[in-house]
Amino acid sequence: MNNYHLYEEIGHGKFSTVYKGRKRYSISYVAVKSIEKSRREKFMTEVGILSNTKHVNVVGFVNWYETRNHLWIIFEYCAGGDLLRLLKQDGRLPEEQVRRFSYRLRMLTQFC
């Protein structure tokens, strides 16, 4: 993880925290998810799925690392935030957008 600078926390869950980060010597931002080492099995499942998923509507997987106390997943950074933030901001999404997103997600999960 020495290859990345970590900035502010941008999200968290029960077993993980997500930070805004930047690869050293670059101007590219990434999202860096830190997971408790006790969750290794679920972590490896997530890495396996994400590393094999390439789709315009899915956040891109960059790499993963293990340190003494944590497991780390590096994702592409989405400056606009997540879907929940968008829904809270706008209150709802247009029905046609939801229909298209649902269809694409269904097609994607058939092949995973």
Q: Binding site for ATP: residue ranges?
A: 33
**Known binding residues:** 33
Whole-number Å distance between alpha carbons of 20 and 6: 6
Residue with tokens 């957008």: 97
Whole-number Å distance between alpha carbons of 38 and 69: 9
Q: What is the DSSP letter of 54?
A: -
